[in-house]
Amino acid sequence: MRDLVDPTLLPGLDIMPALDLTEEALPAIREGLAQMSAMIPEPEGHGVAWREERFTAPAGHELLVRVYRPEAAAGTLPAILHIHGGGFVLGSVATNHLANIELAARAGAVVVSVDYRLAPETQGLGAVEDCYAALCWLRDRAAALDIDPARIAVRGESAGGGLAAALALLARDRGGPAIAHQNLIYPMLDDRTCAAAHAPHLGALVWTPQGNAFGWRSLLGREPGAADVSPYEAAARAGDLAGLPPAFIAVGALDLFVIEDLDHARRLIETGVPVELHVYPGAYHGFDVVPDAPPVRRMKRDAVAALRRALHPGEAA
């Protein structure tokens, strides 16, 4: 399958081999990823201040958020609620730390990354409820954070993208905080993909059908594909997409999620929701692990441009 990969992205396959996810291996994989995140040095002079805050969720447990603000930005800023990826079973606010520093600077926004509870320890709606609690905290703390509560976007990668899409549904249905834009980076949207027949090159690299089934099984607490899966668990299960915020969706052409992401974009478009969709040739799941590769630079440019159009509507094109 490597012959289908954009040559500039091939180094990423050595950084991110496919994971054999099992309950037995999960603790060691988590520890390894945490050590890798801790080893990456923070660049000097990046111009973004960050800190961590904690608050109590409605269910009574404590949640951690990491808050990033561009130091040179003056006045009230828009905000981005960031939800990290990791197949629902991996990751933390440290996973995208450097990327969120860059995102805050380039988008001209306060970025708040939420450390939601992971599966299988927390199943069902626990993760999306944590994200909703963080969205409400962000709205309620608007004055203290000096952000505009009318300009809040949600963004996530992989499982985080799926949670961002589910959060948009949950906020709409509860009449919760308004979301101006959803920025979905190769989102994990549909548990039924685990049982679907795909061309063998889709999901052959990095995030495989085996890992995908493990992630969904861990979140749902049962085998994926059942008839009664909630749209707040798997956003592709939503019957009504009307009234959702405009969406940006980016995915690689070799990603296991490309079909479900294309279908989600189609359904949003048919409902009348504005959608910007990008499919990057020769790109596998998580291809932005190679930060300076041309496809990655294009994806970052496209995603940030969509955020700036949504969050800085008066800005010159």
Q: Which residues neighbour 197 within 8 Å (Cβ) at sequence distance 6 or greater? A: none
Cβ neighbours around 11 below 10 Å, total: 12
The DSSP letter of residue 256 is T
Tell me the pLDDT tens digit for each residue of 275-302: 999 999 999 999 999 999 999 999 999 9
Tokens of 94: 């440290």
Residues labelled catalytic: 158, 255, 285
Angle at 306 between CA 235 and CA 94, to 5 degrees: 65
pLDDT at 50: 97
User: 93 falls in which pLDDT band (50, 70, 90)?
Assistant: very high
2-37+49-311 has CATH 3.40.50.1820 classification = yes
- 317: pLDDT strictly greater than 80: no
pLDDT digits (tens, 9 = 90+) for 219-262: 999 999 999 999 999 999 999 999 999 999 999 999 999 999 99
pLDDT beyond 90 at 150:
yes
Residue 316 scores a pLDDT above 70: no
- Give φ, ψ of 139 to 5 degrees: -65, -45
Mean pLDDT computed over 83-89: 98
The encoded tokens of residue 252 equal 């690689």
pTM of the complete model: 0.97
pLDDT bucket at 17, cuts 50 / 70 / 90: confident
- Give the mean pLDDT of 44-56: 95
Which strands, in side-by-side order, build the sheet including 247-252? 48-56, 62-70, 110-114, 77-83, 147-157, 181-185, 247-252, 275-280
The DSSP symbol for 227 reads: T
